[in-house]
Chain A
Amino acid sequence: MNTLLQQAPSWGTTLWFIIAAVLLLAVVLGFVTYAIYFERKVIGWMQLRIGPNRVGPLGLLQTVADVAKLLLKEDVRPQHADKALFTLAPILAYAPAFAVLAVMPFSESIQFADLGIGLLYYIALSGITVLGVITAGWASNNKYSLIGGLRSAAQMISYEVPLVMSVVGIVLLTGSMNLEDIVKAQQDVWNIVPQFIGFAVFIIAAQAELNRTPFDLPEAESELVGGYHVEYSGFRFAMFMLAEYVYMFGMGALITILFLGGWLPIHPSLDFIPGIVWFILKFSLYVFLQFWIRATMPRLRVDQLMSFAWKVLLPVALFNILLTAVVVSYQNGMF
């Protein structure tokens, strides 16, 4: 990939990039399939159930069957819905979730675009998903989906502020927004140690951005039926679910890169193990944490949710920026 990037742009290199991107898409779809399977399995074990075990050996084909079923379902569009926006919403939700993966360095050799503003690119694109949610809620012309969509939007924009602020500390330490530079700067110590406050804020805000427990109010099935995607069926609905899990893939990769040292081994003496293995291990740890939290935590109330973002996370994130700035100047001998 690195040698390809150095070459003059031509149709040949473009073709290779397309092949690489399609391969990554295949990997991501495979991840989504088995993330859903393991989510159900792990939560099943935690609740002393067996989980899916009927379709295929050990239930391994359960998600495949679910997707096939969604593909075969009729595509119902309510008569009073806004046709254009109703069609646009799943695309708006899914496209940015996949496009953010363009800047992720998965290991020293497996990486795609090497943007100088990689982190900013991620943050900017992931914000578009909110538009997909609010469009879906509005276009359906359904009271449940309108309430669900607006609640989701309010939640996602409120938590986006502490999310983007908590990574300023890392940019301060590294002096770069390039994700590869950020990983390389963690050679001695992973950012989770000097940036622990930032990590705590980030992981909580990420949970809310992903609409996952304990912040899964947008889906609140007991009160809003299904939130913003009540009126969606068949494969349009599948696109929202897919976007959610692809976004989880992106967030897991980002947390691994920003805080857990990316592809770097846990100790320099272990660097005979390939970097991608370390990446997958750390990434899987984060994904497992998601399932664990979902099996453990109850859902927050909507007022607690909003005040937590603005009254706790935001001041803590601001404090973290100032603290990191002072420490960095002290280390550089500015005082």
Chain B
Amino acid sequence: MSDIYTNNYVIVAIFLILGVLLPVATVSFVGPLLRPKKPTREKQTTYESGNIPVGDSWVRFNVKYYIFALMFVIFDVETLFLYPWAVAYKELGLFALVEMVIFISLLIIGLIYAWRKKVLEWN
């Protein structure tokens, strides 16, 4: 049993390493042998449809993105709780259903609140 377990994660590790290796090998090792390298100042300027860029692009941006990121964290963590519940559901019986209805309704209240506060509008 533990052999299968180890083997499975060996495979996962191989896939991860292979996934990193392909871009690294092609971009850093095979690429330089094939492609030209003639950097000039003009070539390395930031592209802005021909205009000379004004200022930096590392600026503070719209707070809206953070609110969506927060909403994502809340609902994604909720789903993490839903998965073990779903796996064990058939053994747990009616109690689990009632529990989860309460849990989901709390989150629906949160969603309605965000909705009423017009957080979900994008303008």
Contact = CB atoms under 8 A, between A and B. Distances in A.
A321 B108 CA distance: 13
Contacts, number: 230
Contact of A71 (B31, B49, B58, B114): B31
A112 interface: yes
Question: Which of the four size classes fits the interface of chain B?
Answer: 35 or more
Q: Which of A236, A311, A318 has the most CB of B within 10 A?
A: A318
Q: Which of B45, B75, B114, B120 has the most CB of A within 10 A?
A: B75
A328 B23 CA distance: 45
Contact of A74 (B9, B38, B88): B38
B27 A21 contact: no
B53 to A, nearest CB: 7
Given A71-B34, A161-B76, A76 B4 contact: no
Contacts of A5: 3-4, 7-8
Contact of B7 (A9, A120, A328): A9
A165 B104 contact: no
A114 B122 CA distance: 42
Q: Which of B15, B35, B65, B114 has the most CB of A within 10 A?
A: B15
A165 B7 contact: no
A329 B94 contact: yes
B52 interface: no
Contacts of A329: 93-94, 97
B27 A239 contact: yes
Contact of B89 (A74, A225, A328): A328
Given A160-B76, A175-B89, A6 B3 contact: yes
A271 interface: no
B121 A307 contact: yes
Given A95-B20, A306-B120, A143 B86 contact: no
Contacts of B61: 146, 150
B72 A161 contact: yes
Interface in B39-91: 39, 41, 43-49, 53, 56-59, 61, 64-65, 68-69, 71-72, 75-76, 79, 82-83, 86-90
B94 A71 contact: no
15 contacts: A8-B3, A13-B10, A21-B14, A71-B30, A74-B38, A76-B39, A81-B46, A96-B19, A168-B83, A172-B89, A231-B47, A235-B35, A307-B121, A310-B71, A328-B90
Given A96-B19, A138-B58, A318-B108, 18 more contacts: A9-B7, A74-B38, A75-B37, A90-B23, A91-B24, A99-B19, A102-B16, A120-B83, A141-B58, A143-B53, A158-B72, A175-B88, A234-B31, A236-B27, A305-B122, A306-B122, A310-B114, A329-B97
Interface of A: 4-9, 13-14, 17-18, 21-22, 25, 71-81, 87, 90-91, 94-99, 101-103, 112-115, 120-121, 138, 140-146, 150, 153-154, 157-158, 160-161, 164-165, 168, 171-172, 175-177, 225, 230-231, 234-236, 239, 302-303, 305-307, 310-311, 314-315, 318, 321-322, 325-326, 328-329, 332, 334-335
